[in-house]
Chains A and B, each alone.
Chain A
Amino acid sequence: MALSMLAQESGSVTSEQIEHLHRRFKQLSQDQLTIRKENFDSIPDLEFNPIRGKIVHAFFDKRNLRQESDGLAEEINFEDFLTIMSYFRPIEMNMDEEQLDRFRKEKLKFLFHMYDSDHDGKITLQEYRNVVEELLSGNPHLEKESARSIADGAMMEAASICVGQMGPDQVYEGITFEDFLKMWQGIDIETKMHVRFLNVDTIAHCY
């Protein structure tokens, strides 16, 4: 596989980092060319993550893989793996306004897809509830009902932000991506949603 070519594609991820990720990929896939969902089960740290299902799912979501088609991939190769990882690269100093905007939208799109589990372009109340329930499932004392009501509250908030005063017969069906963007206004996601892919080989420390 031409690593240098990939490096160009995925922007700021350097070839060194790619090598590192490649090693990791092989480790996860047990030297296969592709990764399947089950491979993620072998990561012990992921076990306690309340939304691990959603996260692993996102790796196989074709919308995130910059493919035209919709749906869920069975397995992903290293290139896909890298594509997903590149959603989490940090901003660069030399980005101009337009690039920054695109960069931001890309990241938000990834998030949005995670919430929108039925791929209809809308986060419906039910979808939102599921996410919130999963999010709060780490706290055993919190009941599902409170998670629900929180989701309901958040949805109302979203509705009031995005639609404003609603007409008598209007029903807010779900958060579209445009609404999603509106909700994120003023929060600089680009500085938050990033992982520093270290150059140092830390795999050895992990296992």
Chain B
Amino acid sequence: MRPVSGVALLLGLMALPAALGQRSSESHKNSNESFAIVSFKWDHVKEPYIIALWILVASLAKIVFHLSHKVTRVVPESALLIVLGLFLGGIVWAADHLASFSLTPTVFFFYLLPPIVLDAGYFMPNRLFFGNLGSILLYAVIGTVWNAATTGLSLYGVYLTGIMGELHSGLLDFLLFGSLIAAVDPVAVLAVFEEVHVNEVLFIIVFGESLLNDAVTVVLYNVFDSFVAIGETNVTGIECLKGIVSFFVVSLGGTLVGIIFAFLLSLVSRFTKHVRIIEPGFVFIISYLSYLTAEMLSLSAILAITFCGICCQKYVKANISEQSSTTVRYTMKMLASGAETIIFMFLGISAVDPEIWTWNTAFILLTLVFISVYRVIGVVIQTWILNRYRTVQLEIIDQVVMSYGGLRGAVAFALVALLDGNKVKDRKLFVSTTIIVVFFTVIFQGLTIKPLVQWLKVKKTEHREPKLNEKLHGRAFDHILSAIEDISGQIGHHYLRDKWSNFDRKYLRKILMRRSAQKSRDQILNVFHELNLKDAISYVAEGERRGSLAFIRSPSTDNMVNVDFSTPLPSAVESSVSYLLREKAGPVCLDMQALEQRRKSIRDTEDTLAHHTLQQYLYKPRQEHKHLYSRHEIMHSEDDKQDKEIFHRTMRKRLESFKSTKLGINHSKKLNKIHKRDRGQKRRNSSVIPNGNIPPENPVQDFALKEKDLEFSESEENNDYETLHLGKGVDFLANVTKQNFTDAPAGIDNPVFSADDDQSIYMKFSPWLSSEDTVVPSQRARVQIPYSPDNFKRLTPIRLSNKSTDSFLLADGPEDRPRSFLPESTHM
């Protein structure tokens, strides 16, 4: 049912331009006579209007495809889009016998291809790419030349036997055709392989090949094109030599242009701090310029923009803000996927034009046979050579997938459309053959590659949660291996990587990265933050499941670790916000998450006791800001100010409380400084992580340290240790209530947050309010719990055993915590 209605909708849309066209001519006649209040100016908007409509149709089609999972799981989207294009083209042609739309090379090369390639470069897994660069280059260069030469020569050989009938082409024309049909197409490969999920090494090899073979294709195409122009007899050895030289110029030049622009882009992004709104724009504009510049210099534009993306990604991602980074990511994906959609649809539409078709069964069939066979032979031979040098061998299964994944696509079509009909006599035949080849590879091979991969049991990518240990060991590995290479005195892969990363750290980063970014940009640290965040979310989720976050700040946290967190009630969890958060726990969503979280908690407790505390200390929750319109800024400043002030207050309090315990006197100043430096980086996390209350859960403290802690916390032992033990093992909810009864008067609060006792109930929720004389920062928590609940395995305090310095970091918690957690705690 659904597809049918979708088609109907599309039909309606298709009819629209035609109808509009008719009406516009009528309205023209009328408008001559007098001034019309409303005039209908179709011609005025015709072109952009049609373009917009096509894009809309393509996008709607995508929605329709994905209504049925059964279809998209079996048939790749690219194939569906081609069929749709054929269908739509058929309708248009039936309507007015005019094939007015086709994929023109200009549109393709200038507007549709760059976003796709940029997307590929910018999100390229660099390590994997450079790790396999040797193999990729071999396949891209030798493989493509091999394919072009063998296909062209074989076709010419068969042509000489006469079974193709009479053609007007010579050897050079065949080689020209061979060169444009030889290249594996990045768009098609990406579209199909993204749905197949083969293992990453296999993917990067096929995909990298399809990207890098552009230089070869462009050179071969240009060389043969010019050879055809000057005629067979005039081709001399010097011309051939020129062709070979031009290959190096085109490929290396294109790469160089890309690297130069990447450098520029990184440099620019370093200084965009005050123009956050247009920050993402630079990424697109400068990379696009690299493409155009390479094109202008007749270098390989695809290589230029690919390498621009590859080289800049590290620095740009570090420099631009979190929001900009999200924007870049989404915009890039949107453009790329939009362009891809349009390309495939227009490939379909372009085929509906009787003008371009000539049929020559022998030529078309043989082309199909030759490109498949020679691809297989090429892959096998090259893999055999490569496997002598590779440690991770490419097995036979991999070779099958690689051969089968040699999809041809829009690049070939655009190139063949560029041919000059006067010079190349059989242009029509070449065009039709290319269309057939593209359709065959995309539809047939695209359709069958998935079952093939499953049937062959190709190793697939497995998504593992990143582990801190893994990252650490990985880092250690890199150093060990490069050291071994140093010691044994060889220049190997690790040696080069090591030297490069030294160079990068010493010079490049200093030039290209913001100072703040230089510091926080350590992969291990990032993973650490990410994992912390995840744990924090599950922690909050736990609270949500229980209907309250009270447990987080109540001392009973200490006792409830026995509760089994690993089996949350699914129904309860699914509806909660944090479930959603966990689903996409990436750092990018952070801001949104925080907002969501705040809004929810505030709404829930609008009228609770804590209300005035909110008023006083949090000013307004962000949601209630009147957003003043500004084109240049998304309002942040006020929030920042609030954050800062609350933070300062909190800090002051913490430090004071510190002093009064006579522990951190010497440290406090230094701490303050350190913290300021550190803060930017940590704040990112702190908005969600209740950093402060996790210390109780570290199982790995040294005994020695613990003992010290014990001594030191003796002072408060008398406070209420009994209470703490009361709840052990008791059901949590009961526990909380109990604690609340016992807590309130005794003033035991989560020691980390409010170090005061005997304060009014409000004080409990605002640690920074505590009067200065009653401060005993409790270290009890750290002593109390030597084990951790399983779920929060990595949610560590920052510096857990260094008691003299701990509190400033813990203070991070209170800074943000009240916004999200405070209100909740009041209902208990």
Contacts and interface: CB of A to CB of B under 8 A. Distances in A.
Interface of A: 21, 24, 27-28, 40, 43, 45-46, 48-52, 55, 85, 88, 90-91, 93, 111, 114, 125-126, 131-132, 135-136, 138-139, 141-143, 145-146, 148-150, 152-161, 164-172, 183-184, 186-187, 191-198, 202-203, 205-206
B197 interface: no
Given A141-B518, A143-B678, A195 B494 contact: yes
Contacts of A45: 482, 486, 495, 498-499
B490 A202 contact: yes
Interface in B485-501: 485-495, 498-499
A75 to B, nearest CB: 15
Contact of B475 (A21, A90, A135, A159): A135
5 contacts: A138-B505, A148-B799, A152-B796, A156-B699, A196-B490
Contacts of A93: 393
A85 B473 contact: no
A184 to B, nearest CB: 8
A195 B487 CA distance: 11
Interface stretch (B147-155, B344-352, B364-372, B523-531): B523-531
A86 B3 CA distance: 62
A150 B468 contact: yes
A135 B472 contact: yes
Given A135-B475, A156-B788, A167-B787, A191 B392 contact: yes
Contact of B488 (A126, A131, A150, A197): A197
A166 B699 CA distance: 9
Contacts of A191: 391-392
Most buried by A among B488, B678, B793: B488
Contact of B786 (A28, A55, A149, A170): A170
Given A43-B486, A55-B483, A149-B796, 5 more contacts: A50-B479, A150-B524, A166-B699, A166-B788, A168-B786
B720 interface: no
A194 B391 contact: yes
Interface string B793-816: 111111110100100000000000
B799 A145 contact: yes
Dominant secondary structure of chain A at its interface with chain B: helix
A169 B787 CA distance: 7
A146 B699 contact: no
A146 B794 CA distance: 14
A124 B788 CA distance: 17
Bin the interface of chain B by size. 35 or more
A48 B700 contact: no
Nearest to A131: B476
Interface string B777-792: 0000000001111100
A43 B482 contact: no
B797 to A, nearest CB: 7
B700 A49 contact: no
Contacts of B482: 45, 49
Given A43-B487, A152-B800, A157 B502 contact: no
Nearest to B674: A143
Contact of A145 (B393, B467, B700, B802): B802
A43 to B, nearest CB: 6
Contacts of B618: none
A197 B488 CA distance: 8
B699 A171 contact: yes
A186 B464 contact: yes
